[in-house]
Structure 1
């Protein structure tokens, strides 16, 4: 899915679980079971990324 600004947000379902794995356009990653929680985390960029599961890259 692309946002109006052309940023790419990706959410994958982890097979065999109820877990969603999301990757923000900035490269940060997050896991959650609730789709609403996942979208709120992504759309809160960058404020929502304070408590990331796994930061990636050189930071944002």
Structure 2
């Protein structure tokens, strides 16, 4: 059994539902954000890294 400190960093994805709407707002582990009404579209965007991703603070 390995300790948590010896494992590589985990990728964290976050999806929030915007109350009163059908909109999902996702935040990728890289900091990029995306909104969509379709949950499949949201997960495809998140798992399609780096295609379609532009991390926060990246001006390119």
TM-score with structure 2 length normalisation?
0.74
Query: Which protein has the larger Cα radius of gyration, Structure 1 or Structure 2?
Result: 2
- SS state of the match for residue 30, structure 2? coil
Which of 28, 32, 36 lines up with 2:36 in the alignment?
32
| Alignment root-mean-square deviation, CA | 1.9
Equivalent residue, structure 1, for 2:47: 43
2:23 is equivalent to residue 19 of structure 1: yes
Q: CA deviation at 1:57?
A: 2.9
- SS state of the match for residue 22, structure 1? strand
Map 1:2-13 → 2, pairs under 5 A: 6-13=10-17
Structure 1 portions without partners, runs of 5+: none
Structure 2 portions without partners, runs of 5+: 1-8
TM-score with structure 1 length normalisation?
0.74
